[in-house]
Amino acid sequence: MSFGETLRLVVAPPHRAGWPFIGGGIVLLALGLVLASWLAWLAFAFVLFSAYFFRDPERVPPDRAEAILAPADGKVVSITPVAPPVELGLGDAPRWRVSIFLSVLNVHVNRVPADGVVTRISYRHGAFLNASVDKASEQNERNAIALRLPGGQQLAVVQIAGLIARRIRCDIHEGDAVQAGARFGIIRFGSRTDLYLPEGVLPLVSIGQTMVGGETVIAELPR
């Protein structure tokens, strides 16, 4: 990545979910300038952190109809065959699940992995285990989304809260037609995103590989 690309990533405009935090920090900064310098410095640091955490850079998805894209930035921590969340009604046949861990330094905006129609969304309360561990997929608070692709295949994306994450936001609804690479939500302060591939589709990524949400190709549909 060039210096210019890195700079554009760091100073990207914030997602709208970040404005309450940034605005609150600015208010505290103004109070700190009047009341106490330590409060002003603390507020200034919080504003910078919030602007960085909620940054929302533009992404350019590849022009390949068969591509299934990464739904989030971060590192692949698990690739395993497992049945999708039961609440989505996609059956109990194992399919490949690619799990992406988002550290507090990653962009946390979630991206649609492929063109399709949202067939089901199901939110479940749960624990707040470290999102990098495998059992977080089953035990943590989560928001599961089923997507029907133009060819009839179905995949699932699951937003999972992490150790310090306490808010999952999903901006799409059942019945929505969505496009690959489009924004669909955000998870605050460290999290995990699981992608369940269509049955019979194999992952093309490896554990430890870094993902770029909306751009990295995780798998390809058969032509």
Asked, for residue 182, whether it belongs to a domain, the answer is yes
Catalytic residue among 78, 99, 191, 206: 191
Structural domain including 21 reads 3-53
The strand pairing partners of 76, in sequence order, are: 100
Number of domains in the chain: 2
Q: Are residues 96 and 180 in the same domain?
A: yes
Q: For residues 170 and 61, give the distance between their C-alpha atoms in angstroms, rounded to a whole number.
A: 20
Q: Summarize pLDDT for 174-193 with one digit per residue, the tens.
A: 999 999 999 999 987 768 89
The question of whether 191 is a catalytic residue gets the answer yes
Amino acid residing at 114:
A
Its pTM stands at 0.86
Q: Are residues 49 and 73 in the same domain?
A: no
Q: Summarize pLDDT for 90-114 with one digit per residue, the tens.
A: 999 999 999 999 988 888 899 999 9
Exposure on the CB side of residue 221, measured as CA atoms within 13 A: 19
Q: For residues 113 and 156, give the distance between their C-alpha atoms in angstroms, rounded to a whole number.
A: 9
Amino acid residing at 45:
A
